[in-house]
């Protein structure tokens, strides 16, 4: 039978004269729960359910008392989801009397329930089947100290066995937890709420103890089983969540702080009720009912063996951490990061580490987070193959001239492909020792054939590495021989030497130079120095990388095994710094054009053709800017910088129109500081925007005003006007009378006005003079701003108007304009004009920095188009161009906070309160 048990006072007043015995029993149970159940909040709101129980015919039909008790138990447990609530029928029950035990009786109880032993490696074993309470601790102080706590304190680690602890005193929980804590700071362990007294009691560690404390530094393993209950659970739960002990075994029973068997009225029925509950100050939860969850799950019978093996791991942690710290100090290439990493190791929280795998994972995560270096790796290598480091000596070239000649012939494959494209493939980088001989051979066998080609393909798709000493020679041929170039620097931590690799002073053959295209092909097999070469081609802006992301195997690291463990640390011992001084951390080179390796050759022709027209497109972009951009001086600067970047090779990474549009936009915005300029790719020519405003029909006017304008009168007679689009002046004139009647007349008489422009992102500037006029006197006319139009090279002064319909807003009354990062275009011009003329206070966020007018222009005959602002606003006060970064508020706050900020300022001024 499923029913709920709501112990409501209303139901307790139901007359029992006409009720059956069963119904009376239900009501008396409800009263007991109301007064004693430790979770009273779970009893609320069940009036309807208890009425159903009282009206239930099923209860009426139960005559057998034990059956009735079972049904009531099922009902109350189901209603409150608490298995500790038990109704029983016990006609011969005699409440147990718990007399106070004598000192000798307590001593006997402790001897029978506590077992102490010392295992190998000075590991203590303490089994406690009954939690010693405050009374026993007081009466047996010296005995407990001599026979238990002082002996335990002498061990190096402890297995605390609570698998058979099913009883004990809750008052002993603070005592036990205190023994495993330091005396300095008192710790809040638990809070116990007692329902009958409706009082809470906090449990704290104790400032003074009888006997030596175990302290916080030595390892403690607590063993639990399904039988572990009550105070033992409180001990295990507290020490676990205080990060003082690791729990090994099974989930505990999920008992209670205190349960009480209470007689139901004058019957032989009893209800067992949990009358107190525990709430951890750390977790906000309890071990009751759900039990204590182990850190490491294992069968209870295997818990001791598991604890011993775990302590082996725990004992190894300090040695492992020290070894790793020492190795990082000796070998890590980022010497400036060593102290920080060593401090990280010393302060790392390794309390919950329960295996070597866990230790390696935790160390690896923390060190990588601090170092931000993916090459610094800690692994558990029990099943991994031994790390085989590449022997670079394998790639040394022989010394004999004939053998050198054979090496060059076998290593380099040279061809001249269609369209006079050079092709060079080599699958290994060899070490240079006989520099003069090998350079002369390469000049003759390799570069002599390639020197007159239009473009060069360097195929590294099967290149798996070698020695980086030959990089400079190859890169020297790809740059102008007349200039000295710095290519890269290698810092060797073991040798503590930094070596710079620059271009060769003289090369035997003809330099390929820096103007012709170089296309490097890569695959997932490209590794080692092959990756370095591809990376340098990009960082030196000398060519285009096409193909697949490289293997990412290049780490410049050495792997060291931690003595006596299966843990290994891989430490970067070499830093590879590019020509900008940036350290490359490996991880694979991402090509400029990502395609399948087998398709890379086909892609070269298409990209090379695209590169042939790059200069023309970049020049065309510059010409459009010089012709149409509002700031001619800035246009000249941008145009020159774009060509300089092209000449420096910064556009070799551009491989199609889309990437060119993105790169040009980024470069132009960086150079000009104007985020409004955009280059975009469009296959179909964009339609010109006529942008002719629509004059609303008479029947549409009211609807349009309601949709566009929001008006309120705020406290203190403050007007509020919000509109989210700047309308065209012709539209304003057409709806002028209705606008005055429905909007302006409502706020014209207010003492101050808030104009909300936070959501006004676009519109027309033509109505700005009319709108501004309402906030100035009729005489003299005010110069609002000046507009310079680059397309016509004309300047137009914008002035207030001599007449307006309706009344003006007196200049003696304050105006506040609210802005956000969305406020743009014409709304910005109005806001800036009102601010410049000191007619309004701007509150909110800096505006977007939009433009009055932008034109769209095709770049040459291509599919690229430029959106260029062609008008600029000049301040009526200074005559200088307004900033493209937007309007800076007088009072900067978050957009959402702008309305209350304005109201506070107005209220303060109205009350003449001084500013704080």
- Can you list the alpha helix ranges (DSSP code H) found in 348-396? 356-371
Which candidate, 34, 12, 32, places its Cα nearest to that of 23? 12
3-state secondary structure of 640: helix
Cis, bond preceding 780 (omega within 30 deg of 0): yes
Could you tell me the CA-to-CA distances from 688 to 625, 685, 725, 859, 867 in Å, in that order? 19, 9, 21, 15, 12
Q: Is the dihedral of CA 491, 493, 494, 495 positive or negative?
A: positive
How many helices, marked H, and strands, marked E, lie in the chain? 30, 38
The pLDDT value recorded for residue 622 is 95
Number of neighbours of residue 468 by Cβ within 10 angstroms: 24
* Residues contacting residue 302 through CB under 8 Å, at least 6 positions apart: none
pLDDT in tens, 74-113: 888 887 888 899 999 999 888 776 567 777 888 888 888 8
Q: Output the DSSP codes for 429-452.
A: BPBPSSHHHHHHHHIIIIIHHHTT
Locus of tokens 């802006």: 541
Share of the chain residues as helix, strand and coil, in percent rounded to the nearest 5: 40, 20, 40
Pairing between β-strand 783-789 and β-strand 794-799 as defined by DSSP bridges: antiparallel
| Euclidean distance between CA atoms 820 and 758, whole angstroms | 5
Number of neighbours of residue 41 by Cβ within 10 angstroms: 7
The pLDDT value recorded for residue 821 is 92
* Residues contacting residue 642 through CB under 8 Å, at least 6 positions apart: 618, 621, 622, 664, 667, 668, 671
Which candidate, 814, 812, 811, places its Cα nearest to that of 780? 811
Q: How many residues does the chain have?
A: 916
Which candidate, 512, 507, 519, places its Cα nearest to that of 443? 507
* Residues contacting residue 874 through CB under 8 Å, at least 6 positions apart: 785, 786, 787, 788, 795, 880, 881, 882
Number of neighbours of residue 725 by Cβ within 10 angstroms: 16
The pLDDT value recorded for residue 63 is 80
* Residues contacting residue 177 through CB under 8 Å, at least 6 positions apart: 187, 189, 205, 235, 238, 239, 242, 244
| Euclidean distance between CA atoms 673 and 696, whole angstroms | 40
β-partners of residue 709 are 723
| Euclidean distance between CA atoms 408 and 652, whole angstroms | 29
DSSP state of 845: S
The pLDDT value recorded for residue 88 is 93
| Euclidean distance between CA atoms 465 and 474, whole angstroms | 14
- Under-70 pLDDT residues of the chain: 1-20, 44-60, 97-99, 382-404, 407, 432-437, 687-693, 851, 883, 912-916
pTM across the whole model: 0.71
> Which secondary-structure segment (H or E) carries 843?
strand 841-844
3-state secondary structure of 456: strand
Are 782 and 817 a contacting pair, CB within 8 Å?
Answer: no
pLDDT in tens, 798-825: 999 999 988 999 999 999 999 999 998 8
Which candidate, 768, 770, 714, places its Cα nearest to that of 740? 770
Pairing between β-strand 544-547 and β-strand 517-522 as defined by DSSP bridges: parallel
The pLDDT value recorded for residue 916 is 43
Which candidate, 223, 273, 268, 280, places its Cα nearest to that of 249? 223
| Euclidean distance between CA atoms 85 and 271, whole angstroms | 7
**Token pair listed for 515:** 């103007």
Largest interatomic CA distance in the chain: 122
Could you tell me the CA-to-CA distances from 518 to 371, 406, 456 in Å, in that order? 35, 26, 5
| Euclidean distance between CA atoms 249 and 412, whole angstroms | 65
| Euclidean distance between CA atoms 472 and 720, whole angstroms | 70
Locus of tokens 């095709």: 858
3-state secondary structure of 774: coil
| Euclidean distance between CA atoms 19 and 21, whole angstroms | 7
| Euclidean distance between CA atoms 508 and 477, whole angstroms | 10
Are 823 and 763 a contacting pair, CB within 8 Å?
Answer: no
3-state secondary structure of 74: helix
């Amino acid at each position: 039978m499923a029913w709920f048990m709501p112990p409501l006072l209303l139901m307790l007043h139901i007359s029992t004269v006409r009720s059956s015995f069963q119904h009376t029993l239900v009501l008396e149970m409800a009263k007991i729960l109301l007064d004693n159940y430790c979770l009273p909040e779970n009893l609320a709101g069940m009036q309807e359910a208890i009425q159903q129980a009282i009206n239930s015919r099923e209860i009426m039909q139960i005559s057998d008392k034990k059956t009735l008790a079972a049904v009531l138990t099922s009902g109350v447990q189901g209603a409150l989801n608490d298995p500790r609530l038990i109704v029983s029928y016990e006609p011969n029950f005699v409440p147990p009397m718990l007399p106070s035990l004598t000192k000798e009786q307590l001593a006997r109880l402790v001897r029978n329930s506590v077992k102490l032993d010392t295992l190998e490696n000075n590991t203590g074993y303490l089994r406690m089947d009954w939690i010693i309470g405050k009374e026993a601790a007081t009466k047996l102080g010296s005995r407990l100290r001599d026979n238990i706590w002082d002996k335990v304190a002498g061990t190096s680690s402890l297995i605390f066995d609570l698998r058979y602890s099913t009883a004990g005193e809750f008052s002993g929980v603070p005592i036990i937890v205190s023994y495993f804590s330091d005396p300095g700071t008192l710790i809040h362990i638990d809070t116990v709420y007692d329902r009958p007294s409706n009082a809470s009691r906090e449990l704290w560690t104790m400032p003074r103890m009888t006997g030596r404390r175990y302290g916080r530094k030595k390892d403690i393993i607590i063993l639990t089983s399904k039988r572990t209950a009550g105070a033992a659970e409180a001990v295990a739960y507290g020490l676990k969540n205080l990060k003082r002990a690791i729990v090994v075994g099974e989930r505990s029973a999920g008992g209670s702080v205190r349960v009480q068997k209470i007689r139901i009225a004058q019957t032989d029925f009893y209800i067992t009720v949990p009358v107190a509950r525990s709430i951890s100050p750390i977790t906000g939860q309890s071990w009751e009912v759900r039990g204590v969850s182990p850190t490491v799950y294992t069968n209870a019978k295997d818990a001791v063996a598991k604890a011993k093996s775990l302590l082996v791991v725990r004992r190894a942690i300090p040695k492992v951490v020290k070894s790793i710290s020492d190795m990082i100090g000796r070998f890590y290439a980022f010497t400036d990061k060593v102290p920080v990493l060593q401090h990280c190791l010393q302060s790392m929280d390794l309390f919950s580490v329960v295996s070597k795998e866990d230790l390696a994972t935790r160390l690896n995560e923390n060190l990588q987070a601090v170092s931000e270096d993916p090459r610094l790796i800690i692994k558990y290598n029990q099943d991994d193959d031994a790390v085989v480091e590449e022997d670079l000596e394998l790639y040394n070239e022989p010394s004999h001239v004939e053998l050198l000649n054979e090496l060059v012939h076998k290593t380099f494959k040279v061809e001249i492909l269609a369209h006079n494209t050079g092709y060079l493939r080599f699958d290994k980088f060899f070490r240079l020792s006989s520099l003069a001989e090998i350079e002369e051979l390469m000049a003759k066998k390799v570069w002599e054939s390639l020197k007159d080609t239009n473009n060069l393909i360097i195929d590294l798709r099967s290149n798996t590495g070698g020695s980086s000493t030959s990089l400079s020679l190859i890169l020297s041929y790809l740059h102008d021989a007349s200039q000295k170039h710095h290519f890269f620097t290698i810092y060797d931590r073991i040798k503590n030497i930094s070596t710079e690799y620059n271009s060769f002073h003289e090369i035997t053959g003809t330099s390929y130079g820096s103007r012709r295209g170089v296309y490097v092909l890569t695959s997932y097999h490209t590794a080692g120095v092959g990756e370095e070469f591809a990376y340098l081609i990009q960082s030196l802006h000398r060519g285009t990388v096409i193909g697949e992301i490289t293997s990412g195997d290049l780490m410049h690291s050495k792997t060291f095994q931690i003595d006596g463990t299966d843990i290994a640390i891989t430490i970067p011992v070499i830093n590879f710094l590019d020509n900008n001084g940036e350290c490359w951390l490996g991880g694979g080179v991402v090509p400029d054009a990502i395609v399948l390796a087998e398709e890379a050759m086909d892609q070269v022709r298409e990209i090379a053709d695209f590169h042939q027209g790059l200069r023309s497109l970049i020049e065309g972009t510059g010409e459009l800017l010089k012709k149409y951009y509002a700031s001619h001086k800035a246009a000249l600067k941008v145009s020159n910088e774009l060509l300089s970047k092209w000449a420096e090779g910064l556009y070799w990474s551009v491989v199609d129109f889309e990437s060119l549009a993105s790169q040009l936009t980024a470069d132009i915005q960086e150079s000009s500081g104007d985020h409004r300029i955009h280059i975009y790719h469009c296959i179909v020519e964009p339609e010109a925007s006529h942008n002719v405003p629509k004059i609303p029909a008479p029947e549409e006017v009211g609807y349009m005003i309601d949709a566009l304008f929001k008006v309120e009168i705020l406290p203190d007679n403050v007007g509020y006007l919000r509109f989210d689009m700047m309308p065209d002046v012709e539209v304003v004139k057409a709806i002028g009378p209705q606008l005055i009647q429905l909007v302006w007349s409502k706020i014209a008489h207010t003492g101050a006005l808030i104009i909300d422009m936070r959501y006004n992102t676009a519109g027309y500037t033509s109505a700005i003079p009319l709108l501004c006029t309402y906030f100035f006197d009729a005489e003299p006319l005010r110069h609002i701003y000046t507009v310079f139009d680059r397309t016509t090279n004309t300047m137009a002064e914008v002035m207030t108007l001599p007449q307006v319909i309706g009344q003006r807003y007196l200049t003696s009354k304050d105006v506040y304009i609210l802005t956000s990062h969305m406020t743009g275009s014409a709304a910005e011009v109005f806001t800036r004009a009102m601010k410049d003329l000191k007619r309004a206070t701007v509150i909110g966020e800096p505006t977007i920095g939009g433009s009055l007018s932008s034109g769209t222009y095709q770049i040459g005959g291509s599919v690229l188009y430029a959106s260029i602002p062609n008008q600029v606003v000049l301040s009526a006060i200074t005559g200088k161009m307004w900033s493209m970064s937007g309007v800076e508020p007088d009072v900067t706050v978050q957009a959402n906070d702008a309305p209350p900020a304005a109201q506070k300022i107005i209220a303060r001024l109205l009350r003449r309160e001084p500013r704080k």
